[in-house]
Chain A
Amino acid sequence: MAHVECRNIRKSYGGHEVIRDFNLSVSDHEFVAFLGPSGCGKSTILRMVAGLEEISGGDLMIGGARMNDRDPGDRGIAMVFQNYALYPHMSVRGNITFALERAGVAKDEIARRLGAVVETLGLGAYLERKPTELSGGQQQRVAIARAMIKTPEVFLFDEPLSNLDARLRGHLRVEIAKLHRALKTTSIYVTHDQLEAMTLADRIVLMNQGRIEQMGTPEEIYTRPATLFAAGFIGTPNMNFLELEAAEGRLRDGVLDLAAPFALAPGKVTLGIRPGAVKLVAEGDPGAFPVLAERDEFHGETRLLALRSGSQSLLAAIPATVRIAEGERLWARVEEAAMHVFDTGSGMRLAA
């Protein structure tokens, strides 16, 4: 088990710099998820940690030793790939034991470790099959077994569940969580799926365009997004953003007129409100503002209501039992604690 540290890591292709001054410290036993849209550099960093991608500058430390120039096999890591990357001509058994055979581990030791891993992942019935004879979920389980048997210092996951269908994804996600709880191996998990990041990770590293946008526990990032990007990326359905003008303790746009949650310098602000925080109230309720119901989407548990107030539109998630006619005039209210205020120009969160 080990501590992973990235110090000022840079990556450039030719003259084009894609990652600049990336600093991150993952402590022992920690499960860190890199979350971000495609092309944000999260996979590139993972591949640099794995040694599959050259590091252009900075230091990568694993367990206190500098790894920049070590071969992938000598870094004490194991990796699970998005498309499984199994050896197609080998049986499941051959796939799982390949690394131990290369490392010259004794036969009975291999058999012992194989037995344990196979039991954990329930692969006993498939040992002699070829990867092509297995389903996607089973193949990814073999890939996880192949990584596990090496008892690595660090587990690297590169979007391991993205190629699976929704049901299997949920199932395997729970299995990965259980495995981590049992093994406690330091893990870095790359994903573009916020649900996976939120449920698995001790800490989320939210990335955008090669930089860290925000770092923190899933709860921190959800409840206190540091930037507009973080606010918009995390949470389903997406956060509502209202462009308003702050002045004299009020947030206004000509039609809307809300009380500011805290004292704000005059200027343009973006108010972020999660759909779940928009409450429908009776007329005359303090802080209520008039809205027009434009569209009503039934989502099972909840109903997603598209509301309009002047030029601004926002979504409200309300219990599915409440029935609203499209075109109906309503009153809505938002708790001050549920208001996220961002500076429109810089995109940074404003706090009291």
Chain B
Amino acid sequence: MRQRTALPYLFLGPALVVLVILAAVPTIYAVNISLQNRTLSAPDADYVWFANYLRLFSDDRFLNALWVSLKWELLTVSATMVVGIGLALAMFEAANARWRAILCLLFIIPVLLPRVCAAFVWKFSFHPLYGATTWPVRALTGETPDLLATPWGAMLAVAFVDVWQWGLFFAVIILKLLESLPPQPIEAARIDRAKGWEIHSFITLPMLKLPLISLVLVKAIESLRSFDLVYVMTRGGPGISTETLDMYAYSQGFIEAGNISYASSMAVIMMVLTVVMFTTIWKRVQK
């Protein structure tokens, strides 16, 4: 019996060691740095304990980043789900097996593209002078609209690229979920006089409640890591209107002041917030 209980540790051991080195060490290091007053310009540093954290809450730019991050989360998660569910239902209702296969293939391509590539492609496409998407406006009015130069325009443009990647991918997943449902309840609903949209709002989507909530959580976590998209397309601009938490932390740490300790304290706060938020949401859902 002893051997049997020891065996799992033997197999798990190496993997756990790698995980601990990869995940725990940087985390502990970040927490440690966040308690000091370290900058990139000076080799030595002292412990200032929670001074960085206290400073954060009187930093308007940090509070702005918090607000931008929240807006970004709500916007991208809801838009992704709406686009995903909408396209999936449209394919489920209107497309035959052959078209579904073709569309699914097309819809998966954007998410296969690395974020940085997607960001560059669309940034160029939004370019006021050379962009493809701005071309109709140029041709019709002669103006050169700079979408990324207005606060809401920039936010929506970046969110658009995010939804272009994930909304289409989610449409494929949701279509497969719909196809996996047993057909009889849908048939029963048709006999029960449910019209097309009623079947989905009363029968199919409620039947998919749990997987859809899981998708929301996956997207919410994914949206938190949108640094590369924002970095390439706007660098948080114009001004600080698209500066999310990770973007601000990065500019504090590496672009502007080199305030590595201050940036670390932000990263730690983000981590704590994320963990707390998602565990409470997940527990709620499980009930």
Contacts and interface: CB of A to CB of B under 8 A. Distances in A.
Nearest to B186: A85
A2 to B, nearest CB: 16
Interface in A46-84: 50-52, 71-74, 77-79, 81, 83-84
B184 A102 contact: no
Nearest to B210: A89
Interface in A75-117: 77-79, 81, 83-90, 98-99, 102-103
Nearest to B198: A102
B192 A99 contact: yes
Contacts of B188: 79, 81, 85-87, 146
A50 to B, nearest CB: 6
A89 B207 contact: yes
B211 interface: no
Contacts, number: 64
Contact of A50 (B182, B191, B209): B191
Nearest to B191: A72
A223 B206 CA distance: 52
B184 A81 contact: yes
Contacts of A86: 185, 188
Nearest to A78: B191
Contact of B187 (A84, A85, A88, A89): A85
Nearest to B194: A102
Interface string B164-205: 000000000000000000101101111111100010001100
Contacts of A84: 184
Nearest to A98: B192
A146 B191 CA distance: 11
A102 B191 CA distance: 11
Contacts of B190: 51-52, 71-73
B106 to A, nearest CB: 28
B177 to A, nearest CB: 14
Which size bracket describes the interface of B in this complex? Answer: 10 to 19
A89 B203 CA distance: 8
A62 to B, nearest CB: 13
B191 A98 contact: no
Given A87-B189, A87-B203, A98-B189, A73 B194 contact: yes
Contact of A87 (B185, B191, B198): B185
Contacts of A88: 185, 207
Contacts of A73: 190-194
Given A83-B184, A88-B185, A77 B191 contact: yes
Interface in A192-233: none
A81 B207 CA distance: 19
Contacts of B209: 89
B285 to A, nearest CB: 15
Given A83-B182, A87-B188, A102 B193 contact: yes
B265 to A, nearest CB: 45
B142 to A, nearest CB: 53
Contacts of B187: 50, 52, 72, 79, 81, 85
Interface string B97-117: 000000000000000000000
A202 to B, nearest CB: 24
A103 B206 contact: no
A50 B192 CA distance: 11
A102 B185 CA distance: 15
A73 B182 CA distance: 19
Contacts of B202: 87, 98
Interface string A175-192: 000000000000000000
A85 to B, nearest CB: 3
25 contacts: A51-B190, A51-B191, A52-B187, A52-B190, A71-B193, A72-B190, A73-B190, A73-B191, A73-B192, A73-B194, A74-B193, A79-B187, A79-B188, A81-B187, A85-B182, A87-B188, A87-B189, A87-B206, A87-B207, A98-B189, A99-B191, A102-B192, A102-B198, A146-B188, A146-B192
Interface of A: 50-52, 71-74, 77-79, 81, 83-90, 98-99, 102-103, 146, 150
Given A52-B190, A89-B206, 5 more contacts: A51-B191, A83-B184, A85-B185, A86-B185, A88-B185
The 6 closest A-B pairs by CB, nearest first: A73-B193, A85-B184, A99-B192, A85-B188, A89-B206, A102-B193
